[in-house]
Amino acid sequence: MRVVSEGRRAALGTMVAVAALLWTANIPARAATASTAGTELAAKTCATLTARVDEIPGSGSVFLRSYDNAFAAGPTSEPALSVAAFTYDNALAVIALHACGQRAQALRIGEALLDAANLDRAGRKGRLRNTYRAGAQKQRPIPPMGWWDVVENRWLEDPYQVGTATGNVAWAGLALLTLAEATGEKRFREGAAGLARWVVEHAADPRGPGGFNGGVQGFDNASQALTWKATEHNTDLVALFDRLGGGGEWAAPAKAARGFLDALWAAGGDHFPVGTTPDGVTVSRATSGLDAQLWPLLLRDAPTGWRAALTYAERAHGVEGGFDFNDDRDGVWVEGTAQAALAYRAVGRKADADRLFADLLQDVSPGGFLWATRSAILTTGLAIGPESKTADFLYYRRPHLGATAWAALAAQGWNPFTGARLP
């Protein structure tokens, strides 16, 4: 879970107020360009996503590389990232390409997700790994990400990448449902249902606020349950169960995931805490997560009262020109800033969304992907895994597929949770 000291929040009180003034002061200066910024951002991001699929020869299934190393700053040589295709990023790309009107390209990635979900190497249907190898997917079953280490002279894998995070499974399910609704093909819906069943079977946790835990991490012969629960994961699941019909076999899981959100909202008062500690019961108040504030607002029939979380996000995560990942406010998280633009559109604050679109246009890298950050390094307050001793999950200034897909969704006004365009 996210771990960072709350002691910094009080010390930053004056800085928050100053940033709020800077935020407001930027609006008039950008008014002349903001009205067209969304259109321009949509065109650029849709063109880039389409081109990245088309540059892989053939018409078969593909996964897209999550980071464009050609233009990266910071560490670029890690084998675990060089050709990594994160499931979450690729699920977002499916939905974004559909919103862009590029069905053929969306289908190529969707076919890879469906193949990966239908038969994992462990022989289970419905399980997805967090990361696969980018490129054309010709092997069946599709193997998770790994690499040959020339120093150790053996094949290596990363315990997170071969694990299965609940939220990633949910996003893949939403991507498959998007294709099911677009094509009418039942196999995509059946694939999404299989993913949802895996979550219900392996991540349901009635302790405390109920809901679903983080999934599993580790190698196949030594995996361990991630017993914390995340607001973002349970938000994803509310959307997935709702899109699957919300009733029948999905009624109880939908109620459990939504009950978790209601319990966390009650605990936060005017915002959503990030989730629970590993005991699955205690609400984690060690840090704040931007996605936990924004994503619930995109749910169908989200209570109006939840919009207070957006005000909280502006106060706790807002920085000049965008939003930070967590509340230490040490830089702009580009992906999260795009999420905020979509949340603004969802609640009818179009001028605020336009302002962010103008800023996001400055984040387009030479290769077309948006940078993950505006600074060289961005902290998240998160640990990479249960064995981490520090908050070692960092973002670097790398061109990022996930940030690009979120920008496309926001600029197109497409809600990935409901599968519909915003008014």
pLDDT at residue 413 tops 60: yes
Cis peptide, bond prior to residue 28, ω within 30 of zero: no
- Cα 66 to Cα 98: distance, rounded to the nearest angstrom: 18
pLDDT digits (tens, 9 = 90+) for 222-265: 899 999 999 999 999 999 999 999 889 999 999 999 999 999 99
What is the pLDDT confidence band of residue 12, given thresholds at 50, 70 and 90?
very low
Cα 368 to chain centroid, rounded: 19
What is the pLDDT confidence band of residue 13, given thresholds at 50, 70 and 90?
very low
pLDDT at residue 1 tops 60: no
Residues 317 and 293: beta-carbon distance below 8 Å: yes
What is the pLDDT confidence band of residue 14, given thresholds at 50, 70 and 90?
very low
Mean pLDDT of 99-117: 98
The token duo for 253 is 């899981």
* Mean pLDDT (the chain, rounded): 90
- Cα 88 to Cα 376: distance, rounded to the nearest angstrom: 23
Higher-pLDDT residue of 394, 113: 113
pLDDT digits (tens, 9 = 90+) for 196-230: 999 999 999 999 999 999 999 999 988 999 999 99
Mean pLDDT of 388-410: 93
The token duo for 375 is 């600074």
Residue 77: per-residue pLDDT: 58
Higher-pLDDT residue of 171, 10: 171
Mean pLDDT of 326-330: 96
Residue 390: per-residue pLDDT: 84
- Cα 246 to Cα 254: distance, rounded to the nearest angstrom: 6
What is the pLDDT confidence band of residue 24, given thresholds at 50, 70 and 90?
very low
Rg (CA), the chain: 20
Mean pLDDT of 384-401: 87
pLDDT at residue 7 tops 60: no
Cβ neighbour number for residue 153 with a 10 Å cutoff: 7
% of the chain exceeding 90 in pLDDT: 80
Least confident of 24-33, 165-174, 383-392: 24-33
- Cα 1 to Cα 386: distance, rounded to the nearest angstrom: 9
What is the pLDDT confidence band of residue 175, given thresholds at 50, 70 and 90?
very high
SS (H, E, C) 122-169: CCCCCCCCCEEECEECCCCCCCECCEEECCCCEEECCCCCCCEEHHHH
Phi first, then psi: give them for residue 272, nearest 5 degrees. Answer: -100, 120
Phi first, then psi: give them for residue 301, nearest 5 degrees. Answer: 60, 35
Mean pLDDT of 368-389: 89
Residue 72: per-residue pLDDT: 59
Residue 166: per-residue pLDDT: 98
Residue 384: per-residue pLDDT: 81
pLDDT digits (tens, 9 = 90+) for 345-356: 999 999 999 999
Region of residue 422 (phi > 0: left; psi between -120 and 50: alpha; otherwise: beta): beta
Mean pLDDT of 77-93: 91
Residue 70: per-residue pLDDT: 66
